[in-house]
């Protein structure tokens, strides 16, 4: 038995998220179908994270275990030959069986992309939030700093989440201007259900005047979802990377 770590990138607009579910096409299922075509057996795949329907990935990590004899490079090329065009395998590495892509994740980084012009960008349909009202990246960047550090994020969690401990630590929260786009980068030790999308929606509601300037600390303190802003559409959300610890990264580099 050996284990491979796959780095994927995918356009999530074609899928109902990562996780296999009945009567809906998911990235996990499409990948398992491709693996079955290449290896001749249906192996299960473990992902680094659930992702919502419509959410994209620059880098999504998952593992697959198999008894079959195949090299990392051949697995990569075979999968890329049969996967649908919305999913690509960027890298395949052999990793120790002990490695787990979700439990061993030390931090995750997401980016949220906003196209901030008064027309819709044809090349970013379903791939960015179309937001026609002028945003002030410098102001939003200042507001976003209130997310940094360790907080109870109950106010930034969809009501249906059943996770008990809602304390998370945010290491990075930056709003950047990039041409006609505004991008929100957030890195933390973990994220609750819809958390990044509510963080973005709250920033947009502050810019719009629906929520008060500098109100994020009080919203966090309240632990009440009703006080935060809207849940921004999934269109602009990309899982950007997952951080594993230094020793694991060294192990991951062994082929």
- Measured at the CA of 22, the angle between CA 17 and CA 23, to 5 degrees, comes to 90
The residue (of 45 and 87) whose beta carbon lies closer to its own copies is 87
Shortest Å, Cβ 203 to its own copies: 24
Looking at the Cβ atoms of 17 and 229, the one nearer to its own copies is 17
Instruction: Name the residues that contact its own copies, by CB under 8 A.
Output: 9-11, 56, 76-77, 80, 85-90, 117-123, 125, 127
Of 88 and 148, CB closest to its own copies: 88
Q: In 3-state terms, what secondary structure has residue 147?
A: helix
State the catalytic residue, choosing from 33, 52, 104, 205: 52
Least CB distance to its own copies at residue 118 (A)? 8
Annotation says 52 is catalytic: yes
Task: Provide, rounded to whole angstroms, the least separation between the CB of residue 127 and its own copies.
Answer: 7
CB of 152 to its own copies, least distance (A): 35
Q: Which C-beta is closer to its own copies: that of 76 or that of 151?
A: 76
Spatial separation of the C-alpha atoms in residues 222 and 229, rounded to whole Å: 13
Minimum Å gap between C-beta 186 and its own copies is 20
- Judged by beta carbon, residue 56 or residue 168, the one nearer its own copies is 56
Q: Which positions are catalytic?
A: 52
């Amino acid at each position: 038995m050996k284990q491979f770590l796959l780095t994927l990138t995918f356009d999530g607009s074609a899928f109902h998220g990562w996780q296999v579910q009945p009567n809906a096409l998911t990235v996990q299922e499409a990948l398992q179908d491709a693996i079955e075509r290449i290896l001749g057996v249906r192996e299960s795949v473990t992902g680094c994270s659930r992702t919502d329907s419509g959410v994209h990935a620059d880098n999504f990590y998952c593992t697959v275990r198999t008894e079959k004899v195949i090299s990392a490079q051949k697995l990569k090329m075979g999968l890329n030959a049969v996967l649908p065009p919305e999913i690509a395998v960027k890298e395949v590495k052999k990793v120790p069986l002990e490695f787990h892509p979700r439990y061993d994740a030390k931090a995750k980084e997401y980016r949220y992309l906003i196209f901030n012009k008064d027309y819709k960008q044809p090349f970013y349909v379903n791939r960015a939030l179309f937001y026609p009202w002028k945003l002030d990246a410098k102001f939003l960047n200042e507001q976003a700093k209130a997310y940094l550090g360790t907080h109870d994020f109950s106010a930034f969690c969809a009501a249906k989440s059943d996770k008990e401990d809602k304390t998370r630590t945010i290491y990075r929260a930056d709003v950047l201007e990039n041409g006609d786009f505004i991008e929100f980068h957030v890195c933390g030790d973990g994220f609750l259900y819809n958390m990044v999308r509510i963080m973005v929606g709250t920033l947009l509601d502050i810019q719009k005047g629906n929520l008060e300037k500098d109100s994020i600390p009080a919203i966090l303190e309240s632990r009440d979802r009703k006080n935060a802003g809207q849940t921004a559409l999934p269109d602009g959300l990309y899982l950007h990377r997952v951080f594993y610890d230094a020793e694991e990264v060294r192990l991951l580099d062994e082929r």
